[in-house]
Chain A
């Protein structure tokens, strides 16, 4: 069992949620509430990472992060190391790859709020920010929760993008799913089996948690 890889995986999952959730709430709500030109194109772009082969996504991210790109150069001059093959680079790649998993459930969550309810909140004297915090977020909560759990589960299982952008550096970019592949290559079936079972257990527990939480939300709402 590669505990370091497990730690990298868990940090990557938590970090991706921390980066992506605020963005997802802002952007998902924007798509749910506002009608604007080019919305269909933006919705398609948001979904692209979902259907793209991970190697293709990884390739473009590598190009974007490379020493010749403005982003790669900026990161190198600020932090003093390259973006690819670092945990930071992996985190950024993971955040981009997970955009559809965050934006779509949150968008559906906000779309499910009747416009009359939103209007009633305004007529109750709530400012736009109060309406968001006291009415909209509590009502879109199941969508937000689904987004967080999907992102976490998907990050833990991601393989192609991790290998392309992060490589296989122990303690830095070697996640549990990469470690499984690594052990299999070395004919260490036992270690691979333990780690695969760990990932399976985490997946089952996560899904059980989702079901329980969403049922509780359902109860609370009558």
Chain B
């Protein structure tokens, strides 16, 4: 396990400042999230060997790929790395099949074509295998790029803003497909993005990057339930992200019943099978606090909670962290509300959440 882990340590002052260390285990999806120009792509390019920072130690697959201290450096074509580029970077003179076959040089020549066809089937592109990139839509190009990255049988998969060039609906579908693939891959996967939606949908771990430095990193659920990350609050708004299981659909009532460690939730109905695992995000702004369970409301979710932390945000805002079973939720309320309700650490409250504001 430990030797298949990706471990990265990068330092340099200029031209792009970098100062961070991180690891990613097989099966994990590490999202590196930050504004444009924070050095995200440079990190991925360093892992792939396309960029050489002043000081770098990169280990993966039980090998040392970069170690500036001992002057060890494996060129990109000797690193088992699969990379999906932001604009996909497909080879324009080759068909979809040709693109994928290019990355199969490590296989005997007779196996390359059947393997490439298999990979295109995996990304639902069998019908388009003879098309050139110019004849494919954005989403289809992205799938070819993914199949090509997987063709290499990578020890590490790198995704550089993989959904930046496709529209919302295609993005959702591609995210689901990558999620599915991830379960079968069992390799470290590093995703770079400036869109928090990608993080919520795909990541298991999160690293927040600012000017080449990690300002916070950890498991996604832990990090998103921390009340004291003003940077994240300003960038995307606070909100806990966690996994829940579908219990059943109540189609007639327009509701979806979910269960998580220590409670049940009702979300707006969606076509999901019982037993399926779903990623849930509850925005801190959508959580209302009450000292007793109020009657006569249209709400479906009133969760009994204990206040575990109270953090001042800017202005009149306060972020309250709540324990619900084994889950941590955040609620963003006014300073006035805190004073009126007498909310302090240890207080028992109810967290009120509308079913429609639960993001799946």
B75, B85, B105: which contacts A120 (Cβ < 8 A)?
Answer: B85
Q: Are A120 and B77 in contact (CB under 8 A)?
A: no
A9-38 CB mask vs B (1 if < 8 Å, else 0) is: 000000000000000000000000000000
Q: Are A125 and B85 in contact (CB under 8 A)?
A: no
B77, B89, B91: which contacts A125 (Cβ < 8 A)?
Answer: B77
Residue B249 at the chain A interface, CB threshold 8 Å: no
B45, B93, B148: which contacts A124 (Cβ < 8 A)?
Answer: B148
Query: Considering only CB atoms and an 8 Å cut-off, how many residues of chain B contact the other chain?
Result: 30
B90 neighbours in A (Cβ, 8 Å): 117, 120
Q: Tell me whether chain A's interface is mostly helix, strand or loop, or mixed.
A: helix
A128 neighbours in B (Cβ, 8 Å): 77
Q: Are A221 and B89 in contact (CB under 8 A)?
A: no
A123 neighbours in B (Cβ, 8 Å): 48, 50, 76-77, 81-83, 103, 149, 152
Q: Are A126 and B105 in contact (CB under 8 A)?
A: yes
Q: Are A117 and B91 in contact (CB under 8 A)?
A: yes
Q: Are A120 and B91 in contact (CB under 8 A)?
A: yes
B69-97 CB mask vs A (1 if < 8 Å, else 0) is: 00000011100011101110111110000
Counted as pairs of residues, one from A and one from B, with CB atoms less than 8 Å apart, the total is: 76
Q: Are A139 and B152 in contact (CB under 8 A)?
A: no
Q: Do A116 and B132 contact each other (CB < 8 Å), given the known contacts A125-B152, A139-B92?
A: no
Residue B340 at the chain A interface, CB threshold 8 Å: no
- Expressed in whole angstroms, the minimum distance between the Cβ of B180 and any Cβ of chain A is 23
- Chain A minimum-CB-distance residue to B151: A124
Interface centre among A123, A128, A139 (most CB of B within 10 A): A123
Bound-complex Cα distance A126 to B152 (A): 11
A117, A130, A134: which contacts B89 (Cβ < 8 A)?
Answer: A117
Residue B134 at the chain A interface, CB threshold 8 Å: yes
Please provide the chain A residues from 160 to 196 with a CB less than 8 Å away from any CB of chain B in the complex. Answer: none
Please provide the chain A residues from 87 to 126 with a CB less than 8 Å away from any CB of chain B in the complex. Answer: 114, 116-117, 119-126
Bound-complex Cα distance A125 to B49 (A): 12
B91 neighbours in A (Cβ, 8 Å): 117, 120-121, 135, 139
B39-80 CB mask vs A (1 if < 8 Å, else 0) is: 000000100111000000000000000000000000111000
Q: 6 A-B residue contacts at CB 8 Å?
A: A120-B89, A122-B49, A125-B105, A125-B152, A130-B105, A221-B132
